[in-house]
Amino acid sequence: MMYEIHLYAPKTGKLTPRMLEWLFQYGQSEDQPEHHWPVRRISPRALARTLMRLDTQLVAVPGPAGDVELHYPDETLGIVLYIHNRGVIIFFPYMAYGVLSRVVLGIVYTYIRYLYDALGFWSYDPQLDVLSYADDFQSIEETALLMDKIMPKLLPS
């Protein structure tokens, strides 16, 4: 099972719950006028190049419809940044609380913090239902505790 965090660059500089509702309702639609979109349109390839300058070990894989996937080079960590024309979704596996989960969360939150600081991306964690301008230690701790709580339920008895 994969954990996911969504990142968007709001046109107003601040992402709100109402904007997220609009994205979840109309975000898959191609017929919405640009002025209705609450988040900026991005170039997946340009953003991928920017992220690959931050972490030169990321491996780019073409995605559907011009999207780009960036895979963390250590496949056992399972980190993937999926870049589409409106944002980024970071995927990583649920894992039991421990050293490896802290390593994965540290890497993921480094990308999130960079995207906020450098490009104004806000993050939304649908598992915790938390909207944030940038994630910090508290968010890492909340995510680790959630994974620790949920992981035993995912494992067969």
Q: What are the structural domains, with CATH classification, of the chain? A: 2-154 (3.30.310)
pLDDT score for 109: 87
pLDDT score for 97: 59
E-state strands within the chain: 2-8, 59-62, 68-71, 80-84, 87-93, 122-125, 130-132
* 23-42 confidence digits (pLDDT tens): 999 988 889 999 999 999 99
* 99-112 confidence digits (pLDDT tens): 677 788 889 989 99
Quote the tokens at residue 63.
């995605």
Q: Which are the contacts of 115, defined by CB distance < 8 A and separation ≥ 6? A: 7, 51, 88, 121, 123
- Average per-residue pLDDT in the chain? 86
The pTM of the full predicted model, rounded to 2 decimals, is: 0.85
d(CA 86, CA 10): 10
pLDDT score for 157: 53
Q: Quick one: average pLDDT of 65-85?
A: 95
Query: How many C-beta neighbours within 10 Å does residue 119 have?
Result: 15
Quote the tokens at residue 116.
């906020």
Query: Regarding predicted confidence, which is higher, 156 or 2?
Result: 2
